[in-house]
């Protein structure tokens, strides 16, 4: 099935990646053919932009994951109020005395104007909070999208009609407005407005509202894909041989919709990161003292920072641009690797 040219191309890239082996042996391996997943992986590895962006994205996730460890090695934490602990570092307004936002060998990214938190650990922990929330939203939306999308596409009929109408309806929602409007309501489900809101409630509420309006695009795509898959012979064969609908969905349909799921979720995740950061920027998401990427922006937009020393602004700003650009490039590369026909 595979053309010889393809096989040769694959073979060289294997050699380039440094898996030496006797020629005869790899020759035999080549003839076995490759699964679509392997082919995709080979194509992806040849895409230099994609690989670099994957490393960058991976670096951010690693930083988020290892934030406590890095902070420990670095010897600081994002909760210490240095304006109280070390008042000699700040002027009367709370701006770091040293130039460039108080960057020094002790405080690598400087000190936050106002409370004087350590910016380096604040950023690490902020990335950690934001990425955890966004990954949770992505998982929740992907699971919902799969369940409802495949159900609508495969079952058809009344359930298809119902789910499609719900999708159409939710797509008409003004998303950002809905997020900010429903956050306090969802929070008030858990705690009385008179009490202090614990952070985990805010996290759950952030995940819930973004999930509620996040799953439709994937569900719509999966509905279309499984609608066309349903008419294919191998599904029919499975049905004739007595497989239950659940088994057909699990064994026949799901493996065939992995591509749109992966591609779509690499496009969705950066969107969730920026949406979550936007909410925290508006003061509706995560609030101090819990570190959060978006909340750093809200600190950066205070007059204290804008008037005196704007260095602080660049740490969350530049890191987020790098993250989003890398993730978008990665998304394009993943799509190209899965579907080489669509040229950019």
- Total of chain residues touching other proteins, rule CB under 8 A: 46
- Kindly write out the interface string for residues 177-206 of this chain, putting x where it contacts other proteins by CB under 8 A and - elsewhere: xx-xxxxxx--xx--xxx------------
Which pair of structure tokens corresponds to residue 47? 């895409």
Contact 262, 276 (CB under 8 A): no
- Kindly state the smallest distance separating residue 142's Cβ from other proteins, in Å: 23
List, in sequence order, every beta strand (DSSP E) within the chain.
none
**298 scored as a contact of other proteins (CB under 8 A):** yes
**In the complex with other proteins, which residue's Cβ is closer, 210 or 298?**
298
Among 10, 50, 294, 331, binds other proteins (CB under 8 A): 294
Instruction: Give the tokens for residue 241.
Output: 């041989």
Q: Which of 94, 156, 224, 317 binds other proteins (CB under 8 A)?
A: 317
x-or-dash pattern for other proteins, window 148-177, by CB under 8 A? --------------------xx--xxx-xx
Q: Please give the Cα distance from 143 to 33 (Å, whole number).
A: 32
DSSP state of 256: G
The residue among 95, 115, 100 whose CA lies nearest residue 315 is: 100
Q: Report how far residue 136's alpha carbon sits from residue 113's, in angstroms, rounded to the nearest whole number.
A: 31
* 297 binds other proteins per the rule CB under 8 A: yes
Q: What is the spatial distance between Cα 173 and Cα 213, in angstroms, rounded to a whole number?
A: 8
In whole angstroms, how close is the CB of 328 to other proteins at the nearest point? 6
- For residues 24 and 208, what is the distance between their CA atoms, to the nearest angstrom? 55
Q: Identify the helix (H) or strand (E) that includes residue 155.
A: helix 119-155
Q: Residue 82 or residue 293: which is nearer to other proteins going by CB?
A: 293
List interacting residues with other proteins (CB under 8 A): 168-169, 172-174, 176-178, 180-185, 188-189, 192-194, 274, 277-278, 281-284, 294, 297-298, 300-301, 303, 305-307, 310, 313, 316-317, 320-321, 324-325, 328-329, 344
């Amino acid at each position: 099935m595979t053309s010889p040219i393809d096989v040769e191309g694959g073979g060289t890239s294997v050699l380039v990646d440094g898996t030496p082996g006797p020629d005869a042996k790899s020759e035999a391996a080549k003839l076995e053919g490759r699964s679509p997943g392997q082919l995709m992986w080979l194509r992806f590895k040849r895409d230099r932009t994609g690989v670099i962006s994957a490393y960058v994205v991976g670096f951010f996730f690693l930083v988020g994951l290892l934030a406590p460890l890095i902070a420990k090695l670095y010897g600081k934490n994002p909760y210490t109020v240095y304006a109280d602990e070390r008042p000699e570092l700040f002027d009367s307004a709370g701006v770091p005395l040293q130039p460039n936002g108080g960057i020094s060998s002790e405080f690598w990214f400087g000190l936050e104007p106002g409370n004087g938190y350590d910016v380096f650990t604040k950023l690490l922990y902020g990335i950690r909070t934001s990425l955890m929330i966004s990954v949770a939203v992505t998982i929740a939306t992907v699971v919902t999208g799969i369940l409802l999308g495949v159900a609508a596409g495969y079952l058809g009929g009344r359930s298809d009609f119902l789910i499609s109408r719900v999708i159409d309806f939710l797509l008409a929602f003004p998303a950002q407005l809905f997020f900010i409007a429903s956050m306090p309501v969802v929070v008030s489900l858990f705690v009385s407005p008179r009490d202090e809101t614990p952070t985990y409630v805010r996290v759950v509420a952030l995940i819930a509202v973004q999930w509620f309006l996040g799953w439709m695009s994937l569900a719509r795509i999966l509905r279309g894909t499984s609608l066309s898959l349903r008419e294919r012979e191998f599904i029919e064969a499975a049905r004739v041989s007595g497989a239950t609908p659940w088994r057909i969905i699990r064994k026949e349909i799901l493996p065939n919709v992995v591509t749109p799921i992966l591609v779509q979720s690499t496009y969705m995740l950066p969107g969730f990161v920026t949406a979550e950061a936007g909410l925290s920027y508006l003061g509706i998401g995560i609030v101090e003292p819990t570190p959060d990427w978006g909340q750093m922006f809200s600190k950066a937009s205070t007059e204290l920072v804008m008037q005196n020393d704007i260095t602080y602004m660049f740490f969350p700003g530049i890191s987020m641009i790098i993250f989003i650009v890398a993730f978008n490039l990665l998304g394009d590369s993943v799509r190209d690797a899965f579907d080489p026909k669509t040229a950019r």
